[in-house]
Amino acid sequence: MVPVARGRDDAVTVLEPPPGRPARRAARLTRNRDFLLLWTGSGLSALGARATSIGYTLLVYWSTGSATAASLVTFAALLPNLVAQLPAGALVDRWNRRTTMLVCTAGRVLGAGSVAVVALLDAVRLPHLMVVAFLEATLGICYALAERAAVCAVVPRDQLGAATAANESRANAASILGQPTGTVLYAAARFAPFLFATGVHLMSLVTLLFVRRDLRAPRPPDGAAGGLIAQIREGVVFIWGKLYLRRALWLFAASNILFQVLGLGLVVLVKDRDGTPATVGLLLAVNSVFGMAGAMTSNAYLRRWGIRRMMVGINVAWAVLMPLLVVAPGLAAVSVILALINYGAGIGNVAGMLYLLRTTPDELRGRAGSIFTLLSSGANSIGALFAGFLLDAVTIEMALAVVGATMVVIAALAVLAFGTRTAAEAERAEAAAERADAERVAAERADAELATTAAGRDPRD
């Protein structure tokens, strides 16, 4: 029997492997070579993607003078979030995840490089930009799903929380730095954002070449779904069958809709109170910084209270903070409240992703991640439409009151979903099943590595 350390609710850490199998001492993340390579490469790719996202808009609009043309490229870049997520998740669970990331990164190098060339030659064409934007976004989705699943192969189970927090902080840092970088580079030269993206994608590709860990997805069990549609269905059935995971996903989707209203509402609020576009930019930057701070500190909260309590606590905190926006006396107060809301969002994103990783078998992580992202993207799309209609129909104060009241309802649902004794007992039962599955996977992986070592082969082959 594998000795385990039991903490609050589902906090379980495997301390020793079964007898006869090699013990693997868990190094700190800062000394985990493969994790650092993955983290750095993904951060570079994210930075390049953020720089080109604003670069596309500037290039198209300044080349054509057409807002419609700019919106078409934006639409092409966003469309894969809705149509490519589920197939990408199933394919990532089939393919070698390291190879997937290498191929996707190479494709992004070619895509960004082709735009840099046409911008340099003053040969920009709308269809070309739309195709590249679509393909680059699709490759980015495949890369992100593969990288998210690969983290579980290079990080010990008890460090998944810290790894997830580091990845969320990386995403916030890319958001803070990427678009300003793209704007400054475009001001220097039209091709510069895309040349920059080409360079950082190449650097990301190089980091992947030095990852030593075997990142292949586990073989599907006998009798598992074979076709692509069947595999997608298997992922959906898995998510639907996990009651508390399903509840968590719906809570995140609902709150994402409200965050879209808050995002557009911030612009309206600043304008109504005689602010400037620079004020909006400053507040958005502050929100991103606090979101990154929330992600960086999330592991401390998760260790103390566990995922279930954090699900309840974050939603209750939002239910307290969002109604305060209605009575906030000035932009300074609004900025403080929004910063605190985004701090909670940083913690919540880590908690949600960690819960997904802990409750999903390795062979399903690509598909589970794609469903998570699809729900988030769909909620963001619905929220953007809802925000526009709501803010056109009522005053900003009334819109914020609707957001606050809705958040109170969501928080009440979170308490009912995760705050009861039944939820705690069910979570412990899921944790026990999860531990058994983790022990099985660890044993199979150790056996495979022993067999590979005995045969004198490199485990990466």
Same domain, 251 and 186: no
CB atoms within 10 A of CB 198: 23
Same domain, 123 and 187: yes
CA distance 324 to 328: 6
Are the C-beta atoms of residues 266 and 280 closer than 8 Å to each other? yes
CA distance 251 to 255: 6
Specify the pLDDT at position 226.
64
Q: Among 147-161, 184-198, 229-243, 438-452, which range has the highest average pLDDT?
A: 184-198
Q: What angle, 0 to 180 degrees and rounded to 10, lies between the N-to-C axes of helices 228-241 and 365-393?
A: 70
Specify the pLDDT at position 194.
94
Q: What is the mean pLDDT of residues 325-343?
A: 90
Q: What is the extent of the structural domain holding 360?
A: 230-419
Same domain, 135 and 238: no
Specify the pLDDT at position 310.
85
Q: What is the mean pLDDT of residues 144-172?
A: 83
Please, which pLDDT band fits residue 132 given cuts at 50, 70 and 90? very high
pTM: 0.68
CA distance 297 to 346: 9
- Take residue 261 and report the two structure tokens written for it: 């209203």
Same domain, 203 and 153: yes
CA distance 419 to 426: 11
What are 301-318's pLDDT values in tens digits? 877 887 788 889 999 999
Kindly state whether residue 252 falls inside one of the protein's structural domains. yes
- Take residue 23 and report the two structure tokens written for it: 């013990």
Kindly state whether residue 450 falls inside one of the protein's structural domains. no
Specify the pLDDT at position 203.
95
Whether pLDDT at 205 is above 50: yes
CA distance 181 to 176: 9
Tell me which of 177, 196, 217 is where a domain ends.
Answer: 217
Kindly state whether residue 81 falls inside one of the protein's structural domains. yes
Specify the pLDDT at position 57.
79
Same domain, 268 and 354: yes
Kindly state whether residue 433 falls inside one of the protein's structural domains. no
Q: What is the CATH number of the domain that holds 251?
A: 1.20.1250.20
CA distance 87 to 85: 6
Percentage of residues of the chain with pLDDT beyond 90 = 24
Tell me which of 404, 419, 434 is where a domain ends.
Answer: 419
Tell me which of 186, 217, 248 is where a domain ends.
Answer: 217
Same domain, 212 and 245: no
Same domain, 262 and 392: yes
Q: Among 157-161, 214-218, 345-349, 424-428, which range has the highest average pLDDT?
A: 345-349
Number of folded domains in the chain? 2
Same domain, 212 and 358: no
Kindly state whether residue 407 falls inside one of the protein's structural domains. yes
What are 265-278's pLDDT values in tens digits? 887 888 787 777 67
Same domain, 213 and 237: no
Percentage of residues of the chain with pLDDT beyond 70 = 84
Among 7-11, 186-190, 388-392, whose mean pLDDT is lowest? Answer: 7-11
Kindly state whether residue 292 falls inside one of the protein's structural domains. yes
Q: What secondary structure letter does DSSP report for 6? A: E
Kindly state whether residue 15 falls inside one of the protein's structural domains. no
Same domain, 260 and 308: yes
Same domain, 145 and 290: no
Same domain, 213 and 241: no
What are 11-45's pLDDT values in tens digits? 333 333 333 434 344 457 778 888 999 999 999 99
Kindly state whether residue 429 falls inside one of the protein's structural domains. no
- Take residue 115 and report the two structure tokens written for it: 């735009």
